[in-house]
């Protein structure tokens, strides 16, 4: 089943993590991983082929990425090329995103261009708190400019993070960098850039709703939280003003889509809005409908 056969998919999960490479290299240090596992409860770390099998069994597609935070953490990342090549081997269900540390400057810009043009990467994950930068820092603007020009998506972690939770000083991770209001400047200065604010943005949920409502190319993904804990204003906006801009995301393997979808089934979402959140909005954001039409001609 090629991914362009989107009609066969039950859902598209726009937020999953490659936490371990084929050779066993972890995406975070043992200390940060340990804190994360304690916060989220212990979870498996599947390799990308295992992720593919998991989603294939459920007739879903998944966006897969790692996080490049070498500057702030000193921990070598998982290779973007490995992620993209492994996703290409499972292109029926996996969609590759890259991650480039904004502190890498021009080298990072060159890498982003290569990943899109040579490896088919469709977007880039940013985790400002772990990467140690404010999204509105002009240092990152050349990278955003390249991503906008390439027609790729920029996905920003927003809100609190379990990474570093409980460690002295939170492991050096500053929560303030993940306030979604810092992404508002990015949306203003790069009006053609498609942006996703990842997660219910505790404690800044209203800020995220304001930015997504005000800026036409800003979306929200619902990953990392069970839907039964969604704040009421998020549910209200998902049902109304943002029904075309809210996306299903699980945060797998931290949270499984099985649990997320089971709780989503009990959420007060209008029947006509459910398919938009689970698949249709992601199809439009990622340009999959156009690719499907092209494949059929």
84-122 burial code (b ≥16 CB/10 A, e <16): bebbeebbbbbbbbbbbbbbbeeebbebbeebbeebebb
Beta-carbon count within 10 A of 74 CB? 8
**pLDDT (average), residues 122-133:** 98
The lowest-confidence range among 29-43, 134-148, 150-164, 241-255 is: 29-43
Structure confidence by residue, pLDDT tens digits, 77-110: 999 999 999 999 999 999 999 999 999 999 999 9
Residues with Cβ within 8 Å of residue 203, at least 6 apart in sequence: 159, 160
**What are the residue ranges spanned by the domains of the chain?**
6-296
Structure confidence by residue, pLDDT tens digits, 165-195: 888 998 899 999 999 999 999 999 999 999 9
**pLDDT (average), residues 285-297:** 66
Which pTM was predicted? 0.93
- pLDDT of 296 higher than 60: no
Residues with Cβ within 8 Å of residue 253, at least 6 apart in sequence: 16, 17, 19, 43, 44, 45, 46, 51
Could you say which architecture CATH assigns to the domain 6-296?
Answer: Alpha-Beta Barrel (3.20)
CB 86 within 8 A of CB 48: yes
pLDDT band per the 50, 70, 90 thresholds, residue 293: very low
- pLDDT of 297 higher than 50: no
pLDDT band per the 50, 70, 90 thresholds, residue 129: very high
């Amino acid at each position: 089943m090629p991914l362009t056969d989107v009609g066969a998919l039950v859902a598209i999960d726009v937020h999953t993590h490659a936490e371990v490479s084929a050779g066993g290299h972890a995406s975070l240090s043992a200390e940060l991983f340990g804190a994360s596992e304690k916060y989220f409860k212990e979870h498996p770390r599947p390799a990308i082929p295992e992720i593919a099998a998991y989603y294939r069994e459920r007739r879903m597609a998944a966006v897969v990425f790692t996080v490049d935070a070498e500057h702030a953490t000193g921990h070598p990342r998982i290779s973007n090329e490995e992620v993209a090549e492994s996703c290409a081997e499972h292109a029926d269900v996996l969609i590759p995103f890259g991650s480039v540390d904004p502190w890498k400057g021009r080298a990072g810009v060159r890498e982003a261009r290569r990943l899109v043009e040579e490896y088919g990467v469709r977007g880039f994950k940013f985790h400002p708190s772990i990467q140690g930068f404010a999204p509105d820092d002009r240092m990152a603007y050349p990278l955003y400019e390249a991503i906008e020009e390439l027609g790729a998506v920029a996905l920003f972690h927003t809100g609190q993070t379990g990474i570093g939770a409980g460690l002295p000083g939170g492991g050096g991770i500053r929560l303030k960098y993940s306030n979604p209001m810092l992404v508002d400047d990015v949306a203003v200065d790069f009006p053609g850039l498609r942006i996703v604010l990842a997660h219910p943005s505790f404690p800044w949920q209203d800020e995220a709703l304001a930015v997504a409502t005000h800026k036409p190319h800003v979306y929200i993904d619902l990953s990392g939280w069970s839907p039964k804990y969604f704040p009421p204003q998020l549910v209200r906006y998902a049902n109304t003003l943002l029904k075309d801009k809210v996306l299903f995301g699980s945060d797998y393997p931290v949270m499984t889509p099985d649990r997320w979808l089971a709780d989503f089934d009990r959420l007060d979402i209008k029947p006509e809005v459910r398919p938009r959140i689970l698949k249709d909005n992601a199809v439009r954001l990622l340009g999959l409908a156009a690719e499907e039409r092209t494949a059929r001609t």
